[in-house]
Structures are given as structure tokens and as C-alpha cells.
Amino acid sequence: MASFFCKTLVFFFMGFVELGNARYISDFQWKQQKMKYTTVYVDPSGHGQFKTIQSAIDSVPQNNQNWICINIKAGQYREQVKIPREKPYIYLKGGDQGKTSVTWDAHDSIATDATFTSEADNTIVESITFINSYNYPPKSNNNPRVVAVAAMISGDKSVFYRCEFLGLQDTLWDVQGRHYFKLCTIEGAVDFIFGNGQSLYESCTISVNARALEGLAGFITAQGRSNPKDESGFVFKNCNVIGSGQTFLGRPWRDYARVIFYGCNMSNVITPEGWTAGVYVGKEKQLTFAEESCKGMGSSTSKRVQWEAKLSQQELQQLTSLSFIDNEGWITKQPLKMDILNQNDPTDVNTHASAVAAAGGVANTSVDINNPLCLHPSDNPGAMLVSSPFNRIGY
């Protein structure tokens, strides 16, 4: 009898908890679906409130706490764009992928010369190509090869979806913070993904332009993790590594660099050794350079450096799931259609939800917001216009 009573009590208690959770998630969905995002429009021809991207960003109030969508008409923009630290919650939305580009040609100083700089937390960028044209494209360029950054990302909780970053040396400076790159393309030859970011690159194209180095091998990554307790690292999951010439997967920028290629398709551009310790010869055991479940002509590990890291299944699970960058559910709370999390990886949303729940957060995998206010007037004629009030150590 006592046993029956206990079981009944547990049953009702669990039912109460589930009801509470369901109500919480339902309320969260309702709030998300009822949100109205201010949208401003950029159109060089004058059919929006702004003719440049930077002027639209400048219009966002300092210490903004509400998402503002800046819808950018497809076209080529020649300007240097910066989202300052004090302007979070900006959603830059370009036209169709490959049809909205931002180009600049500043060079030599990575601190000030990036075509696009994002310092603010809670930033989304969708379908925009960022180009540093000083050395790009290399076939039609006679400038000496120098540092020429296309994008510099230092804000936390930043998502890049269907974006392109094009350059030759130091293309993408993934400075610091938690970042999610989905279905993006990054192109370059030397250290073209570098920095100390804690970032997941999923289903991206890594395009190597090492042929431009005239016989020298290139380097895809130069990661800057500086101590064993640092949570940063670059994880490439289900990516395609393609291109010309020969390249190393990476070399360390700092003592405890961490880079993982997981489930990637590698062409024959990868050198047999795969990795180099660079200036950290003798400290290889401190580095975490790893590959797992990769395929393609460049994926053979038979001639890889002997000190390449071998990770346990638990470590791989921890580093290759969304919880590596998000154990609190921040990605699912952003105003992007949630099905982007599911593209090319049908199990990852549920895995992410479980990891978030285990960490004490709440993940919402069912919200599907395709904000109609974030369409450009040319795409949505009925939409109403709303006015809106350090140099890196070289080698």
C-alpha cells in the first residue's frame, strides 16, 4: 500500500513538473511569436531609410536591448562597416546569398583595417559576403601579400548564416567570444581563420587559395588558446575543405591552441603531415589538433604528425555539439528561423536541447520565426517602413 501511494505521489509530481515545463515553453513560444522587430532598410538607390550599411548601424541607439533588423538590398557596397560594442542586438540581413557584398581594401593593421568589424554581443549576420580586396582575387591582383582582414569578430553570442569571408592572408579574425558559423564560406591561403574564438563552424566551405603562394604551403588556422583552462577553440563539423595548392590544417598562434576537424570532407589540398607546431616545437603535447571521422583524398592520417591529439568519445561529444558554444540556449532565442540548426544535421537540435536542459537552461527547438518585418520592401511590397530613432605576432 505504501509502495502504491509513493508511486502515485511520484506520478503526480512528475506530471506537475512536466506541466510546468510545458507551460514555460509555451509562454516562451508565445512571447517569441508576438515579438515585433524594428526593421530599417538599406538601399543605395534611395528606396530605404539609408543608402549605406554603416549609416543604418549608426542609427541604432547605444546600449540597445531589442533586436533591430537592418535589411540590406542586394548589391555591391564599397564601405568599411563596424558594429561597435555598445550596439548589441543587431541583425544584418543581406539579399540572397552571394548577391550582397561589402568590399574594402585596407591592409597591414589587423586592429583597424577589417572590412567588417563586429564588437557587440548578440549579433546575427545573414547572407552577406565580406571581401578584403587588397590581395583578392589573387589571380588579378599585383599587390604584395600582406595582412588584409575581411572580418574581425570579437562580440559574444554571434551567429553567421550563409555568409562569405574572402581574402588571402588573415581573412577571418575570430578574436574572442562564442560564435556559430553555419553554411558559410571562408577563403584564403595563410592563417585565414585565426584568433581565440570559441567557435563552431558547421557545414561550411573552407576554400584554400594556396596556389597563390607560388609553391609554399598555406595554413588554414592559427588558433590562440593560451592556457589549458581556456574554453576557446575552433571546431569544424561536416565542412568541405577544397581549393588549390597545398595547405596545413593549422599551426598554433598560442601555447594551447585547439582545432578539431570532425566529419569533414577533405580534398587533396591537405599536406600529408596535416599540422605543424610552428614556433612551439617542443610544446606539442600542449596542443589539441585533432581529426575524427573525416573523409576524402586529404583525410588520410597515416602520415600525420605523431603528436596529433586523440580525443575520447566524451571529449568529441562535448566539443562537436552546439553545447560547446551554447549551454544556456542563446542560439534558439535569436530571431532566425530555427530550421537552420537542423540543416545537414537532423539530430543536432535535439542533442543541443538535451545538453542545454542538462546544464539547467531551457532550449526551445520548435519556434520557427521567419520575421515578415525583416523582408526588404522589394521582397514584401506590403511591409511598412519603420524609422529607427592590436597587431598579431607574425611568423
DSSP character string of 121-143: SSEEEES-EEEETTS-SGGG--S
pTM score > 0.85 for this model?
Answer: no
Look up 191 and say whether it is catalytic. Answer: yes
pLDDT recorded at residue 139? 87
CA distance 241 to 225: 23
For the four alpha carbons of 101, 104, 105 and 110, in that order, the dihedral sign comes to negative
Look up 113 and say whether it is catalytic. Answer: no
Q: Which of 156, 170, 326, 348 is catalytic?
A: 170
DSSP 8-state assignment for residue 220: E
Q: Pull the grid cell for residue 151.
A: 572580418
Q: Which of 156, 191, 326, 348 is catalytic?
A: 191
Beta-carbon contacts of 42 under 8 Å, excluding residues fewer than 6 positions away, are 48, 49, 50, 51, 52, 53, 55, 56, 70, 71, 72, 73
Beta-carbon contacts of 355 under 8 Å, excluding residues fewer than 6 positions away, are 321, 322, 323, 327
pLDDT recorded at residue 100? 97
DSSP 8-state assignment for residue 154: -
Nearest to 186 by CA among 251, 257, 145, 234: 234
Residue count of the chain, please give it: 395
pLDDT recorded at residue 335? 85
CA distance 3 to 49: 69
pLDDT recorded at residue 340? 55
Low-confidence stretches of the chain (pLDDT < 70) are: 1-36, 337-395
The model's pLDDT over 302-349, given as tens digits with 9 standing for 90+, comes to 999 999 999 999 999 999 999 999 999 999 888 876 455 555 543 343
